[in-house]
Amino acid sequence: MKLNRITSIAAGLAAVFALAACNEEKTENTSAKNTEKTFVNCVSRSPQFFSPALAMDGISYNASSQQVYNRLVEFKRGSTEIEPALAESWDISEDGLTYTFHLRKGVKFHSNKEFTPSREFNADDVVFSFNRQLDPNHSYHNVSKATYPYFKAMKFPALLKSVEKVDDQTVKFTLNKRDATFLSSLGMDFTSIYSAEYADAMLKAGKPETVDTTPIGTGPFAFTGYVLDQASRYVAHKEYWKGKADFDRLIFEIVPDATTRYAKLQAGQCDLMDFPNATDIEKMKKDPKIQLLSNPGLNIAYIAFNNEKAPFDNVKVRQALNLAVDKKAIIDVVYQGAGVAANSPLPPTIWGYNANLPPSEYNIEKAKQLLAEAGYPNGFETELWVQPVVRASNPNPRRMSEIIQADWEKIGVKAKLVTYEWGDYLKRAKAGELTAGTFGWSGDNGDPDNFLSPLFGASNIGNSNYARFNSPELEGMLEKALGLTDKNERAKIYEQAQVLLREQAPWIDVAHSINFAPVSKRVQDYKQSPFGYTYLYGTKLTD
């Protein structure tokens, strides 16, 4: 899971969203409110986007694609296994280059005060949703200054040859090469299906960006409004093709402080909170007012080095800095034991993880020796960037950075801690300004390539490859693995790739977190996503 160009759209259109929220409140039926059920999710920060094609972060996906949209295929609740969604079935050609999807009939889009659909979901919507991202000449390609970061991270511009309508209920995808991950990738948030009719209407009205700021989809909840830094609101889609959700209203209340989120959960003002303080976990386990759910995170917290900048362009420097970090101390202090020290960019819970890699070593003397061999016997000065937000992979980036700063000082490396606003942080990192800094990633489709290609692929330098790592040998491995259908053969290649990454040390694999979901006692059948997202359809509320 994920990032980019933060809050500019949301901030610029805050007045529009606030008006939408006010309109919603004015039109509510007061007597109905007394019988309706409302689910309140207390979240840590505002979404960057309400358009999943533009986003690369979980907070934005939770507020948009996980509630408002559907995809051709989707992951079963609480699983990495795909199932039919907007596509009821599909055929794959013998050469693996053509995928033909047979679409579900009777699927209805939401409506809002500016748009009422005149038809049901069909192939035009699929073609629009993909070709907007694929075709630079598409009328919507540059709307909202879109960069489509995850579409690029998954190499879809090079992978997709064409997306074509066969008839209203059939769409054909033609690939330029075989890709073993393609079907599971179609379950990811950036492939959400938009309304082509809505897009046409907003283009004619001269405000095409409305498609991205006031979303309309086919999902279980319809967006009704957003007040900047306060809340986003939704109502249950009564004509949802799977059936109406158990509760009538959904609110994502923005509560930046984790202690305050916990207090609101205890007081019954929230039904679910994200990112609890690691120091509160033991208390939550014994708290009679809440249920504490947990699962192993499909994630990685890491320190990226800019491999293009001295001294980090020297592999011995990178190896030395790896050896100087006491990961056990980080697990104890930052994660309060609710995590495991990382031995690889891949978490141990994903297939393809190399369990035969020797444990990462903490060795100050060996680190000093490597620094001296690299030409830095007295160490050096550098910056260590501190991720300014808490994410699923890292409960306390500041504290982690302080521990690493102290560890590096033991080998003569003096690191100055610096940070930026989240959007600026990512923008600068993508532009190559990074020295070294804290980052995190959560997997989105259960495939090892979803870690290795976005994070280390050469084509993702300037996008999600913050280390700017470029290895032709690794590129060859990843390309070969994608062309194979045998999972065991692919796994062997990914195990080799992890050996290469251990040797080259483009960054420090720090930790894999455990994901916690504190929920109120009235919440039933909430299933945690292995990807760390919040999917609420299927969850129930007791009276």
Q: Band of the pLDDT at 33, cuts 50, 70, 90?
A: low
Whether 214 is in a domain gets the answer yes
Q: Are residues 262 and 195 in the same domain?
A: yes
* Burial class of residue 277 (count of CB atoms within 10 Å of its CB; 0-12, 13-18, 19+): middle
Whether 526 is in a domain gets the answer yes
Q: Are residues 189 and 52 in the same domain?
A: yes
Whether 4 is in a domain gets the answer no
Query: Contact 445/409 with Cβ under 8 angstroms?
Result: no
Whether 32 is in a domain gets the answer no
Q: What pLDDT is recorded for position 6?
A: 37
Q: Are residues 465 and 377 in the same domain?
A: yes
Q: What pLDDT is recorded for position 35?
A: 80
Q: Are residues 240 and 384 in the same domain?
A: no
Percentage of residues in the chain with pLDDT exceeding 90?
Answer: 92
Whether 271 is in a domain gets the answer no
Q: Are residues 248 and 318 in the same domain?
A: no
Q: Are residues 502 and 530 in the same domain?
A: no
pLDDT per residue over 322-371, tens digit each? 999 999 999 999 999 999 999 999 999 999 999 999 999 999 999 999 99
- What is the bridge-based pairing of β-strands 523-524 and 299-305? unpaired
Mean pLDDT of 470-490: 96
Task: Provide the CATH number for the domain around residue 142.
Answer: 3.90.76.10
What does the alpha-carbon distance between residue 348 and residue 129 come to, in Å, rounded to a whole number? Answer: 34
Q: Are residues 383 and 259 in the same domain?
A: no
Whether 256 is in a domain gets the answer yes
Query: Contact 334/400 with Cβ under 8 angstroms?
Result: yes
Q: Are residues 367 and 432 in the same domain?
A: yes
Q: Are residues 305 and 441 in the same domain?
A: yes
Beta strand spans in 140-203 (E): 160-167, 170-175
Q: Which tokens in the block code for residue 202? A: 């907003």
Number of domains in the chain: 2
What are the CA-CA distances from residue 492 to residues 85, 443, 471, 532 (Å)? 32, 19, 18, 27
Q: Are residues 481 and 401 in the same domain?
A: yes
pLDDT per residue over 221-278, tens digit each? 999 999 999 999 999 999 999 999 999 999 999 999 999 999 999 999 999 999 999 9
* Beta-carbon contacts of residue 59 (< 8 Å; ≥ 6 apart): 43, 44, 45, 46, 47, 48
Whether 12 is in a domain gets the answer no
Q: Which one-letter amino acid corresponds to residue 177?
A: K
Q: Are residues 392 and 498 in the same domain?
A: yes
What does the alpha-carbon distance between residue 471 and residue 503 come to, in Å, rounded to a whole number? Answer: 12
Q: Are residues 251 and 350 in the same domain?
A: no
Task: Provide the CATH number for the domain around residue 418.
Answer: 3.10.105.10
Q: Which one-letter amino acid corresponds to residue 30?
A: T
DSSP-derived letter for residue 123 is H
Q: Band of the pLDDT at 512, cuts 50, 70, 90?
A: very high
Query: Contact 44/60 with Cβ under 8 angstroms?
Result: no
Q: Which one-letter amino acid corresponds to residue 412?
A: G
Say if residue 396's pLDDT is above 70.
yes
What is the pTM (predicted TM-score) of this model?
Answer: 0.89
Mean pLDDT of 101-115: 97
Residue 490: what are its φ and ψ, rounded to 5°? Answer: -60, -45
Residue range of the domain that includes 381: 299-515
Whether 277 is in a domain gets the answer no
Among the listed residues 328, 302, 300, 331, the one whose alpha carbon sits nearest the alpha carbon of residue 393? 300
What does the alpha-carbon distance between residue 247 and residue 235 come to, in Å, rounded to a whole number? Answer: 9
pLDDT per residue over 423-461, tens digit each? 999 999 999 999 999 999 999 999 999 999 999 999 999
What are the CA-CA distances from residue 262 to residues 180, 221, 252 (Å)? 42, 25, 15
